Chain A
Amino acid sequence: MPQSAAGSIAIEPIFVPAIPVRELLPWAIFGGLLMLLAIYFVGAEQGATALIHGRGVHEFVHDGRHLLGFPCH
């Protein structure tokens, strides 16, 4: 049985039921969009593109943006 060779990460046939996609989707869409927007503001706003005029957001999160690895300026 090849599955028993998996070692510490046990692969078992018995399982918790998966959460149906219909139940997941609203959370994934609204939550996901909100999270991506947050990442955009930390990582890219007022760099290549700007939703808000000026340089305030960019300057405020400046150090975090550099250190988290986003292209900054």
Chain B
Amino acid sequence: MTRTLLVRGMLVGIVAGLLVFALARCIGEPQVERAIAFETGMDRAEGKAAEPEMVSRKIQRGFGLLTGTVVYGAAIGGIFGIVFAFARGRIRIASPRALAALLASMAFVAIVLVPALKYPANPPSVGNPDTIGIRTAAYFLLMAFSIAAMVISFQVGHRLRSHFGAWNASLLSALLFVVIMGAVCHFLPEFDEVPAGFPVTLMWRFRVASLEMQTVLWATLGFLFGWLAERDSAWTQLRN
């Protein structure tokens, strides 16, 4: 059963990765190109030689981007499948479709939304290469805290259910998550490395595109995986 769910998660993740690639080509790549043009202009103004292209732009925005989104989708999907296998029968939700949607939305908040609010996606030419180490560490640390806070808040919410009822327990659980993550974000370092004159609208469009891509990824995972799980005959047999 675990194997089936893992493989299914990966397959759904590949589908999600393909959709994300198509979306990235439409709404993400124009912003990347503009940001690179800004970077080139900035280098030229400073009299620096243009960076030699190791991988051509055509490959980067084509096969490279496709590889990135599909591998990322498959990996996230695989982990989603394992988490679903663990949650099945442990989180007391009758419908597998609802369980998949719940898990995907919680994961989206913990893995995408919260990290993006503190450390939003940056287009090329934003970010000092000297701080890449600390920025990467802070980003993954925040993500780890966010996942842990989500699990803890969910558990606490579950315990409070018998006392306060489902609605109030969920609200308290969400409040706990917000308080924990507010404190964590307060203590993590801040980075402001946007070069002077970088277009604000370009930054906004790039970040919205990035969030839209992640939304499509997690929505596909949650709904498609849930739909397949609902159809699963093994599930129905187990339930009857």
Chain A residues close to B by CB (< 8 Å):
2-3, 5-6, 8-19, 21, 23-24, 27-28, 31-32, 34-36, 38-39, 41-44, 47-49, 55-56, 59-73
Check if B59 is an interface residue, CB within 8 A of chain A: yes
Q: Are A39 and B67 in contact (CB under 8 A)?
A: no
Q: Are A2 and B162 in contact (CB under 8 A)?
A: yes
Please encode chain B, from 104 to 123, with 1 for each CB lying within 8 Å of some chain A CB and 0 for all others: 00000000100110011111
Closest 4 A-B residue pairs measured CB to CB? A64-B68, A18-B89, A2-B165, A48-B136
A70 CB to nearest chain B CB (Å): 7
Q: Are B121 and A68 in contact (CB under 8 A)?
A: yes
Check if B16 is an interface residue, CB within 8 A of chain A: no
Chain B residue at minimal CB-CB distance from A8 = B98
Q: Are A71 and B132 in contact (CB under 8 A)?
A: yes
Check if B38 is an interface residue, CB within 8 A of chain A: no
How many B residues touch the partner, as a band?
35 or more
Chain B residues close to A by CB (< 8 Å):
1-3, 6, 24, 28-29, 32, 54-55, 59-61, 64-65, 67-69, 71-72, 74-76, 78-79, 82, 85-86, 88-90, 92-95, 98, 102, 112, 115-116, 119-124, 127, 129, 132-133, 135-137, 139-140, 161-162, 164-167, 206, 209-210, 213-214, 235, 238-239
Q: List 17 additional contacts besides A24-B85, A59-B55; criterion CB under 8 Å.
A: A2-B166, A6-B167, A9-B98, A9-B102, A11-B92, A16-B239, A19-B86, A23-B1, A38-B72, A39-B72, A39-B76, A49-B136, A60-B64, A60-B67, A65-B68, A67-B209, A69-B210
